[in-house]
Amino acid sequence: MNRQVMNEFWGGLTAMLVALPSAIAFGVLVFSAISPQMAGQGAFVGMMGAAILGLSAPLFGRTPALISAPCAPAAAVLSALAIDLLKQGISTHHVAGLLALTALLAALLQMLYGLLKGGQLIKYIPFPVVSGYLSGVALIIATGQLPKLLGLPKNTELWHGVITPNLWQWQGIVVGLITIAVMLVAPRLTQKIPATILGLTAGISSYFALACWMPPLLSLNANVLVVGLIPAGTSFLETLRERMLFIADIQLSDLRQVAYSAIALSALLSIDTLKTCVILDAMTKNRHNSNRELFGQGLANLVAFMTGGLSGSGTVGATLVNVSSGGRTILSGFIEGGLVVLVIVLLSPLIAWVPIGALAGILLVVAFRIFDWQAFRLLQHKETRFDFVVIAAVVVVAETVGLIAAAGTGIALAILLFIRDQIRITVIRRRATLKEISSKTYRLASEDAILQQHGDEAAVIDLQGNLFFGTTDHLFTQLEDDLHIQKWLLFDMRRVQSLDYTATHLFSLMHDRLKERGGGLLFSGMPSCLLCGQDLQRYMTDVGLLNQNGIHIFESRDEGIEWMERHIIDAWSDIEKPDELVFEFKDIEILRKMDDSTIHALYECVHERTLHAGEAIFTVGDSGDELFLIRRGTVRILLPLKGVKYHHLATFSGGDYFGEMGFIDGHPRSANAIACTDCELYVLSRKKFNIRVYDNAVLGARVFARIASAISARLRQTDSELSALEER
């Protein structure tokens, strides 16, 4: 137990060493955007954010080993908002209040996402949109920190400052470059000490090394190269009082000014947290509760707002360091927050000496790592270039207009991405005419010949995916030739996920075309309730599609195929319907072309049986070794499933036979045989047959040869059906 506590302590300690410098840098980034003189206050706000989030997020979110702290997206959104508000002429004091209001609304929105089970939805934002947004955040951070690294005077345009070296302050540049170099090299030298700590230590050391030759650097007065003293009035109670007074004085105009920024901030914080949780799950073999974590993060950010801390999220860097150092439970998160509190209480005065150049260097490295450099690989392949365009568009809008507009652009492009992906996937899974497939009704040779000759008058189309305005045009194009050839089209809807009015209108047009040729549209396997809650059959009825004459709905695909087969056979044959035909014993399919002596010998082994429609001939488990030859009527073979459901195996009509498995092996029946119509059967007894075969071996050979040939044909048909089911 003590060893586990020590592991949690070391995990929390190393996580604090990673999270705290970044939190200070993010706080300085936000408040220095309001005024350079507020850098000290920003450092304090960043530290408070790390402390409060560290203590409260594990308590509310309950995700083991997750470390929450101020993060880059929060700093980017808030600093961009501050700059925009200042351009509008709002006072610096009021800008600080509006930033706090933004943090408050974002926290409340996160809690709302959790309550509304939005954790799963946020995960489904397309990665190109997230990548573009984070890359835009990275560029905003980088362009905001370059002036600080170069030490440019306030209000100096970035590009003007970059090409004007006489405005640079070389001391800050040296400190920043040393910080960047150490952060980049450190991971190659050691994994035990976080690169951020080594970089910050190197930056501070280089600053004081320069101060040995330049004594003015050791003074805090008017020293723009360091954070500077934290204002004496900045305290927990004072901040809490100011926040309460500001909440009481919120105006509707204030809410309008920050609403979009709050939405963007809440979404980014949520995505950042859930992304970290997914990585954490893979490392610890656990599974987080996304909705509870979202609510917990929102509550933690609400506490951070009340106590004057910067908003944040579950952060990848600190969390990975925590796990690699032994942290496995929420205790490590509490320890991280507690250690930050100790730093604030004991070492807060030393924060004044942290060089601005070192913090700028840290943030530039963070921005470099946030930027999705892998996106440029998407240009190498034609299929992924549109994804790159999405990323680039979000980045460009973020840089030229703002993060809020970039969020709107991202949402619009996410919709386009969805439509593009849907259009790429054909909604036709399989298409076949009745020459290629058949129902489970075993037909006479004469009927099979008709279906082989005229089976192209009907086709079965298995549909899949979403039938909406983005896919219907392609569907119509693929079936346009069929509408000139077929009379009937049967759409199997089992794999359809959704349907819109455009798709139903297309079906109506198809039906009108088919009616001109004396046919129509058929549907089967209609889902009663999809995951989206849509009832396809009711929707199609509501919009008037199923009210049209000639459109039929079948429970199963096989029933629809059987219906079309019957219509084709009736149209091209003068033979009576199978259930009305009466077959003499010698006319049964399996006995045709046998000599009279063989027929006579077999007839002595049979007895006749008459059944009414719906009567069971045999059921699963019944003993029996008879072979049933259908003199008149139709018989359906059903395989019982769990509950009261059945799987339709086959349908046999007059002149056909069934029960051959029991006749061959004598085992109990494996399915139910039900008379669909009034039936007359010839029942061939295996016992009498054996006696007859004992005296006439040729008789047995002929009968079993016929049965084997028929079973072989049925197995081939089964192979075709299985092949179709396994089609990839």
Q: How far apart are CA 553 and CA 337, in angstroms?
A: 64
Q: Report the relative pairing of strands 458-467 and 488-499 from DSSP bridges.
A: parallel
Residue appearing with tokens 């009340």: 306
593 Cβ contact list (under 8 Å, min separation 6): none
Helix residue ranges, H only, 285-374: 290-306, 316-324, 330-347, 356-370
pLDDT at position 321: 66
pLDDT digits (tens, 9 = 90+) for 64-111: 999 999 987 888 889 888 988 888 888 888 888 889 899 999 999 999
Find, among 317, 277, 306, the residue nearest to 294 by Cα. 277
Q: How far apart are CA 47 and CA 70, in angstroms?
A: 9
Q: Which neighbouring-strand residues pair with 430?
A: 462
What burial class does residue 352 get, using C-beta atoms within 10 Å of its C-beta: 0-12 exposed, 13-18 middle, 19+ buried? middle
pLDDT at position 168: 80
pLDDT at position 236: 60
* CA dihedral sign of residues 662, 668, 674, 678: positive
44 or 1: which carries more pLDDT confidence? 44
CA contacts within 13 A on the Cβ side of 55:
16
**What is the rounded average pLDDT for all residues in the chain?**
82
- Three-state DSSP at 312 gives strand
CATH among 3.30.365.10, 3.20.20.80, 2.130.10.10, 3.30.750.24 for 426-572: 3.30.750.24
pLDDT at position 41: 83
**Tokens read off for 343:** 């730093």
How far is C-alpha 184 from the chain's CA centre?
Answer: 35
Q: How far apart are CA 262 and CA 304, in angstroms?
A: 15
Contact, 276 vs 121, CB < 8 A?
no
Q: How far apart are CA 34 and CA 249, in angstroms?
A: 21
* CA dihedral sign of residues 144, 148, 154, 160: negative
CATH 2.60.120.10 fits 586-725, yes or no: yes
pLDDT digits (tens, 9 = 90+) for 539-565: 888 888 887 777 888 888 888 898 998
pLDDT digits (tens, 9 = 90+) for 140-167: 778 777 887 887 776 677 777 777 777 7
What burial class does residue 345 get, using C-beta atoms within 10 Å of its C-beta: 0-12 exposed, 13-18 middle, 19+ buried? exposed
DSSP state of 427: S
pTM equals: 0.57
Q: Report the relative pairing of strands 657-658 and 627-632 from DSSP bridges.
A: antiparallel
Least confident of 37-41, 96-100, 318-322: 318-322
Q: Which neighbouring-strand residues pair with 442?
A: 652
* Domain extent listing, the chain: 2-417, 426-572, 586-725
- Three-state DSSP at 126 gives coil
Find, among 159, 85, 139, 26, the residue nearest to 394 by Cα. 139
pLDDT digits (tens, 9 = 90+) for 608-641: 999 999 999 999 999 888 999 999 999 999 888 8
How far is C-alpha 22 from the chain's CA centre?
Answer: 32
